[in-house]
Structure formats: structure tokens, C-alpha cells
């Protein structure tokens, strides 16, 4: 057996938002027998939560007990844009809801329910919620032809005059003054003012360019949300014009009501100044009697024009501010001492500043459009990509890495790169980078490493080279005491003299080459013979095949030769001849070489290497002195094996040597 069952019509669900217990109870009890379901919310937060969880057909807001009515209305529009909302500022709530119920019962199906509720809610009070704004989001004022056709001539002239005068307005006070002066030319309007809405303070702050004429205080502001000035609140909540008549008994509820009353006002209209995206404030217009529909239309048209002008002023102000910020940014970027650039999302240069152009050696046009690999090697590019990935997934805004900039001339500049990512609408748009030349820092670090190396060398030299002569002196002194043989006194003196020489050499090393100051032409042969006479050479002979003049500090060149001779003779064996001469013609410098058996295999070294062996008595100091004297002159020194099997020291002077061969 088949049977058809019609779907029951769902009872319309109305959300009542009120903090007053009696209001909630009265609404619930009065509608017990009506086909409507009342949902109660005490606070705005409860109402929003209810809208998220429950299907609501209409919202009634008790404007007297809800603290932040505008925010709640915005929340209703946001959460349930198709749901009609009513802000009740008093009156017969029973009548309002009964009309809602009776109208909804006439709906044939559920799709008509929302329209029926909206019609009844909007018709039950003087509060009218606005239709959606045009898609562009702009406030569109009626065109002049429409104004001429629909308004009386006097009112149309006022509206058209306001529009013409506000075409080039750049100040809100100009807007206020123009509207006030034009409206008050009509004998039905006594005054007008514009109020700015301060969202942070929840107040309307009047702009009064002629406050003295009516003794209206510039310090006066009107709070929104507390119910003190419901006309302002309704205009702002509903985004529609609100009007009322008043007298001595009700003037306190009207902004500047007492003063306006003294100047003949008996009615007021408050229209919102707003666009789809922004609420700028209100315009208040005072009349001598109840305002007609034509007068309200004229005020609406003027408010629309003012809203459009205020939006233009605000946009222009933001653009000018952005241009000023951009101009300051561009000046900062162009005058910055560090190189700065902007890369797009694919890593190509979009912007470079003068400092980066100067650092790289390329022109601006030569860099723009090129990939970052044009200036940095693949390892640096990979490191930068890793940093960018990290920044995009982390909360950090910038990070720093070390990179090397390859210049047009082929030089490499060590740089510190600070990288920041550009993100717009959650999309990666590229990066901004700041490059700082850290060559000076690297030099400081190298100098610090050199000082550390020098201290290490001192430790090795003092711990080893001073040990042997100190032991000799101590043993000889003990033997002298025991035997009173004066021969041991000579040995003690020799040990002390040796220690003194080592100490002098160590102090010389500590001076870091700064002692090489008296540079002058020096005859290589004469200096070599003089130094030879200062060294105990035994049967070894000195051979100088060619005469050469060298630019050097003579006193320290003598010490260099002395140490070369001592090292060659004292630390070699079977040394018969020490030879001195210039390097090959293709090289600039000189050599000191000995025949015989040279240094032990484990003691052959590069004297510039800080890890030289000091396994033999005095060798560490002597070799270190060779390095320091050479460094002080700007020479390079190496130790190799000579043709005769002994040690050979080569000094590359790099321009300091001048040939005087005869």
C-alpha cells in the first residue's frame, strides 16, 4: 500500500539577542501559541556562536541592552548574509514578532521564508537595512539628470551645487563647510555637520568648520553602542538615513540637540557616510519641521556624494603616503653604502642600487633581468635557496649567509648577505638582499689568526730553544762551584750569551715586521761578507758569484744572512761552501745555499709555515727570524735542497731587487 506524506513546514526560527531577562521572558511567553521558534542569546558572542551552529531565519537585536550593536550586525552579515536582522530600539516587540509570524505562515514553501521575514522585519520599524552595494564597492551618487527629474528645483539646485563644488575637494573640512553652507541656503534647514567615526574609541567626532557661530564645541564627541544617541547608532548600523522630530523634552537624545533647538531646529536627519568597505561617519542635518520625503532624498544624495568624495580623499591620502614611503625607501636604498637588490620568484634581478653596481663593476642595465648566478657561484645559490625555504616555513623574517661576489673584473669579494622573503597574498614573490663587503673583517680575522700563530711559535721557541742553553749554564755553574775550574765559567757565560741572543730574536719576532723601516739600496756582496764575519764559520768558505744591489733594511738583512749561515753550518754537516747569488733571470730575488748534508728530512720546511719543526737546538728561532725579516720586507722565502746536497734558502723580492751585475 502506497501512501504519500507531505513534508511538514519548518517553524521559522528567530534569534533574539538581549541582555535583559524580562525582555527575553516576555518575548518567549508571548509567542508560546504562535508557530515560531524563539532562540535566545544573552550576549553578542552567544549570538554569533548560534549563527554558526544553527539555521536562523531572522535576528532581533535589543539595541538598548547589547553593548556593541554595530559589531554584532557586522557579524550577522558575515555569518549569515541572507538572514534579515532587526535592531529594536523600543516599541511593541509583540506586535513586530506577531506580524513576522503571520507573514511567514503565508509562505508556500521554505524558499519564500527568508523574504517574508525580511519584508515584515523591515516594515515593522523605522529602521531600514540597506540593499547590497554595487559590485565595485564604490558609493554611487545619483546622476544630475535623475536629481533634476525627481527632486523639487530648490533641492535639486542644492544637491547639484554640492556635487560641483566637491569635485576637487581635498579636505574633509571643505566637504563639511560646503554641505553646511549649501543646505542652510534653504529655509527648511538650519544647520548641518559631519562626524567622523573613530572605530578605536567607538565614538563619532564632529568636524565643525564654523563652530563659533552656534557655540558648538569641537571637544564634543558622541559615543556609539551605549544607547545614548540611538539615532546615530541606527544610521551607522543600518547604513541608512534616520530621522526624528524632537522638542525640549527629547533634545538630549539628539546630538547638539539643545543648541540646534535654540536656533529653530525641530527635526534632524542622520545619514551614514559609507562605502561598501569603509564607514567614514555620518552627516547630521537639522530642519525647522518634519522632513519630507523629497528632503530626505536630497540628504541621501548629498550623503552619497560626500561618501564618494571622502573615499577619494582617503585613497589619495593613502597613495600619497605610500609614495612618500616609497620615495624615502628608494632614497635610502640608493644612498645605502651596502649593495641592495630585489630578486623575483625565479631569482632574477628586478632592482639593484648604486652600491651593488659599484661593487660588481657591471652597469645597472647589465644586471637587471640576469639570474643571481650571474654574480654568485652555484654553492652560494644553493645556500641562498636553502635559507629562503627555511624563511618561508618559519616565523623568522630574515637570515644571513656568507657569499662571494664575482665582479666583472674577475675579482672575488667576500660578502655577508642578509636575505628577506617577499610574500603577498600568501604567495612567494621573491627576495630582498643586502650585501656587505666583509673584506676588512676577513683581514682582521686573518690578522688575529696570525697573532695566534705567532703566540704558538713563541711557545715552541721559548720552551725548546731556551732549554738547552739554560741547561748548559746551570750544569756549568754547578761544576764551577764543585771544582772551581774557571773553564766552566766560560761555558756558563756562553750559555747566558746564547740565551740573550735568543731572547733578542724572540723580541724581534714579536715586533711583527714593523721594525723594517730604513729601506735603502744595499750591496748584497758587502752585506753578506759583513754578516759572515759575525758568525763562527770554521773552515767553511763563502762564495758570491755575482754582485747585486738590493732594496732592504741593512741591519735586518745582516741578521737574515747570519741566521742563514748558522742554520746552514750549525745544523748541516760536512759543509764546505756557502754560496750567495741572484735567482734565475725570470725570477726576482736571491738565494743562500750550502753544500754537504743539509737539514734532516723531518726539518725541511716552508719557513712561512707556522708548523715548522724545532727539533734541533736553536733551529726554531733562526727559521722564524728568516720568515719575519722576509715578511717585513714583503718577500717570500722557501727552503729546498741545494745541488750540493745542503740546504738552499730562496728569497723572492718581487720588485725589490735591481740588477747591477758586472
* CA distance linking residue 476 with residue 427, whole number of Å: 85
How high is the pLDDT of residue 123?
Answer: 40
Q: In the structure grid, which three cell numbers stand for residue 110, read together?
A: 521554505
Q: Taking the chain (662 residues) in consecutive chunks of 10 residues, what is each chunk's mean pLDDT?
A: 47 79 66 68 83 81 74 75 69 43 40 43 36 40 73 89 86 88 89 87 81 60 80 84 87 84 90 87 92 91 90 84 68 71 90 88 92 94 92 84 93 92 83 89 83 72 68 84 83 79 68 66 90 79 84 84 79 75 81 71 47 44 74 83 79 59 36
Neighbours of 461 (CB within 10 A): 23
Residue in 393, 360, 384, 382 with CA at minimum distance from that of residue 432: 384
Q: What is the pLDDT of residue 128?
A: 33
The Cα–Cα gap between 191 and 193 comes to: 7
Q: Report the run of H or E that residue 543 belongs to, with start and end.
A: strand 541-544
- Give pLDDT, residue 230: 83
Residue 109 grid cell: 514553501
- For residues 538 and 569, the answer to whether their CB atoms sit within 8 Å is yes
Cα end-to-end distance, the chain, whole Å? 137
CATH number of 511-662: 3.30.565.10
Show the 3-state SS of 82-121. CCCEEEECCCCHHHHHHHHHHHHHCCCCHHHHHHHHHHHH
Nearest to 17 by CA among 97, 96, 87: 87
Domain boundaries along the sequence of the chain: 13-123, 144-317, 338-435, 438-508, 511-662
Equal fold, 144-317 vs 338-435: yes
Return the HEC string of 387-456: HHHHHHHCCCCEEEEEEEEECCCCCEEEEEEEEEEEEECCEEEEEEEEEEECHHHHHHHHHHHHHHHHHH
Q: What pLDDT score does 71 carry?
A: 73
Give dist(CA 590, CA 636) in Å, integer: 11
* Residue 265 burial (10 A CB sphere; 0-12, 13-18, 19+): buried
pLDDT for res 333 = 62
Parallel, antiparallel, or unpaired for β 541-544 and 577-582? Answer: parallel
What are the backbone dihedrals phi and psi of residue 341, each rounded to the nearest 5 degrees, phi first?
-150, 165
What's the CA gap between 181 and 632, in Å, rounded?
89
CATH superfamily of 13-123: Response regulator (3.40.50.2300)
Query: Does domain 438-508 match CATH 3.40.1580?
Result: no
* Cell numbers that stand for 66 in this block: 547589547
CB atoms within 10 A of CB 557: 22
Give the predicted TM-score (pTM) of the model: 0.41
In the structure grid, which three cell numbers stand for residue 595, read together? 753544500
> CB neighbours of 440 closer than 8 A, spacing ≥ 6?
none
**What is the rounded distance in angstroms from the CA atom of residue 71 to the CA atom of residue 237?**
8
DSSP letter for 374, please: G
Q: Quote the CA–CA distance of 210 and 184 in Å, as a whole number.
A: 13
Which pLDDT score is estimated for 636?
A: 85
- Edge-to-edge strand order for the sheet containing 339-344? 349-352, 339-344, 427-437, 412-424, 398-406
Specify the pLDDT at position 603: 44
Query: Residue 505 and residue 181: Cα distance in Å, rounded?
Result: 98
Q: Which helix (H) or strand (E) holds 77?
A: helix 69-79
Q: Residue 104: is it exposed, middle or buried by C-beta count within 10 angstroms (0-12/13-18/19+)? A: buried
Do residues 76 and 49 make contact, with C-beta atoms less than 8 angstroms apart?
Answer: no
Cα dist from 601 to 2, 572, 615, 653, whole Å: 114, 11, 12, 27
- Return the CA Rg of the chain: 49
Residues 6+ apart with CB under 8 A from 634: 653, 654, 656
Of 134, 30, 41, nearest in space to 85 by CA: 41
Q: What is the pLDDT of residue 474?
A: 85
CATH of domain 144-317: 3.30.450.40
How high is the pLDDT of residue 414? 92
* Residues recorded for the chain: 662
CA angle 118, 119, 122 (to 5 degrees): 80
162: phi then psi, degrees, rounded to nearest 5: -60, -45
Torsion angle of C-alpha atoms 610, 612, 614, 619, degrees rounded to 10? -100
Cell of 55: 539555521
Longest dimension (CA), the chain: 145
Q: Considering the domain 338-435 in this protein, what is its CATH number?
A: 3.30.450.20
**Cα atoms in the 13 Å half-sphere on the side-chain side of 443:** 5
| pLDDT at residue number 626 | 79
Amino acid at each position: 500500500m502506497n501512501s504519500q506524506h507531505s513534508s511538514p513546514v519548518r517553524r521559522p526560527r528567530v534569534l533574539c539577542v538581549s541582555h535583559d531577562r524580562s525582555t527575553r521572558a516576555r518575548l518567549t511567553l508571548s509567542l508560546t501559541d504562535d508557530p515560531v521558534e524563539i532562540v535566545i542569546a544573552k550576549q553578542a558572542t552567544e549570538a554569533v556562536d548560534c549563527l554558526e551552529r544553527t539555521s536562523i531565519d531572522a535576528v532581533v537585536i535589543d539595541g538598548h541592552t547589547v553593548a556593541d550593536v554595530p559589531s554584532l550586525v557586522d557579524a550577522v552579515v558575515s555569518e549569515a548574509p541572507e538572514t534579515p536582522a532587526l535592531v529594536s530600539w523600543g516599541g511593541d516587540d509583540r506586535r513586530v514578532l506577531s506580524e513576522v509570524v503571520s507573514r511567514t505562515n503565508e509562505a508556500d514553501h521554505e524558499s519564500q521564508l527568508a523574504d517574508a521575514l525580511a519584508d515584515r522585519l523591515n516594515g515593522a520599524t523605522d529602521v531600514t537595512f540597506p540593499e547590497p552595494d554595487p559590485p565595485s564597492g564604490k558609493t554611487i551618487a545619483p546622476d544630475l539628470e535623475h536629481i533634476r527629474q525627481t527632486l523639487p528645483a530648490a533641492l535639486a539646485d542644492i544637491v547639484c551645487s554640492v556635487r560641483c563644488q566637491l569635485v576637487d575637494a581635498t579636505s574633509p573640512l571643505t566637504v563639511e563647510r560646503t554641505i553646511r553652507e549649501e543646505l542652510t541656503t534653504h529655509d527648511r534647514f538650519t544647520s548641518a555637520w559631519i562626524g567622523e567615526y573613530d572605530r578605536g574609541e567607538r565614538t563619532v567626532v564632529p568636524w565643525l568648520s564654523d563652530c563659533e557661530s552656534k557655540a558648538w564645541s569641537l571637544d564634543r564627541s558622541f559615543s556609539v553602542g551605549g544607547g545614548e544617541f540611538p539615532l546615530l547608532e541606527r544610521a551607522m548600523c543600518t547604513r541608512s538615513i534616520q530621522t526624528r522630530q524632537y522638542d525640549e523634552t527629547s533634545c538630549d537624545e539628539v546630538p547638539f540637540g539643545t543648541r540646534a533647538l535654540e536656533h529653530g531646529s525641530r527635526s534632524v536627519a542622520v545619514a551614514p557616510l559609507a562605502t561598501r568597505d569603509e564607514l567614514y561617519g555620518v552627516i547630521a542635518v537639522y530642519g525647522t519641521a518634519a522632513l519630507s520625503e523629497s528632503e530626505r532624498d536630497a540628504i541621501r544624495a548629498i550623503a552619497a556624494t560626500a561618501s564618494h568624495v571622502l573615499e577619494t580623499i582617503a585613497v589619495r591620502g593613502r597613495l600619497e603616503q605610500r609614495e612618500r614611503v616609497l620615495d624615502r625607501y628608494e632614497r635610502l636604498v640608493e644612498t645605502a653604502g651596502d649593495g641592495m637588490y630585489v630578486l623575483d620568484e625565479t631569482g632574477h634581478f628586478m632592482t639593484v642600487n648604486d652600491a651593488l653596481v659599484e661593487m660588481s663593476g657591471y652597469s645597472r642595465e647589465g644586471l637587471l633581468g640576469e639570474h643571481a648566478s650571474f654574480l654568485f657561484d652555484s654553492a652560494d645559490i644553493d645556500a641562498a635557496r636553502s635559507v629562503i625555504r627555511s624563511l618561508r616555513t618559519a616565523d623568522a623574517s630574515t637570515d644571513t649567509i656568507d657569499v662571494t661576489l664575482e665582479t666583472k673584473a674577475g675579482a672575488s669579494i667576500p660578502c655577508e648577505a642578509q636575505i628577506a622573503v617577499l610574500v603577498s597574498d600568501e604567495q612567494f614573490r621573491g627576495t630582498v638582499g643586502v650585501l656587505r663587503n666583509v673584506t676588512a673583517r676577513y683581514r682582521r680575522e686573518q690578522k688575529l689568526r696570525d697573532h695566534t700563530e705567532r703566540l704558538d711559535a713563541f711557545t715552541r721557541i721559548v720552551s725548546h730553544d731556551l732549554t738547552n742553553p739554560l741547561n748548559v749554564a746551570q750544569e756549568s755553574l754547578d761544576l764551577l762551584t764543585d771544582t772551581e775550574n774557571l773553564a766552566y765559567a766560560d761555558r756558563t757565560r756562553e750559555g747566558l750569551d746564547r740565551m740573550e741572543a735568543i731572547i733578542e730574536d724572540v723580541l724581534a719576532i714579536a715586533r711583527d715586521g714593523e721594525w723594517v723601516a730604513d729601506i735603502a739600496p744595499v750591496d748584497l756582496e758587502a752585506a753578506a761578507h759583513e754578516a759572515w764575519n759575525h758568525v763562527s764559520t770554521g773552515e767553511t768558505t763563502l762564495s758570491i758569484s755575482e754582485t747585486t744591489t738590493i732594496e732592504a733594511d741593512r741591519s735586518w738583512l745582516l741578521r737574515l744572512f747570519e741566521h742563514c749561515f748558522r742554520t746552514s753550518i750549525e745544523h748541516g754537516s760536512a759543509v764546505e761552501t756557502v754560496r750567495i747569488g741572484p735567482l734565475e733571470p725570470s725570477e726576482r730575488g736571491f738565494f743562500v745555499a750550502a753544500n754537504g748534508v743539509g737539514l734532516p728530512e723531518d726539518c725541511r720546511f716552508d719557513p712561512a709555515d707556522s708548523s715548522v719543526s724545532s727539533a734541533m737546538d736553536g733551529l726554531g728561532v733562526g727559521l722564524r727570524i728568516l720568515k719575519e725579516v722576509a715578511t717585513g720586507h714583503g718577500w717570500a722565502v722557501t727552503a729546498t735542497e741545494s745541488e750540493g746536497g745542503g740546504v738552499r734558502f730562496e728569497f723572492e723580492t718581487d720588485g725589490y731587487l735591481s740588477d747591477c751585475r758586472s
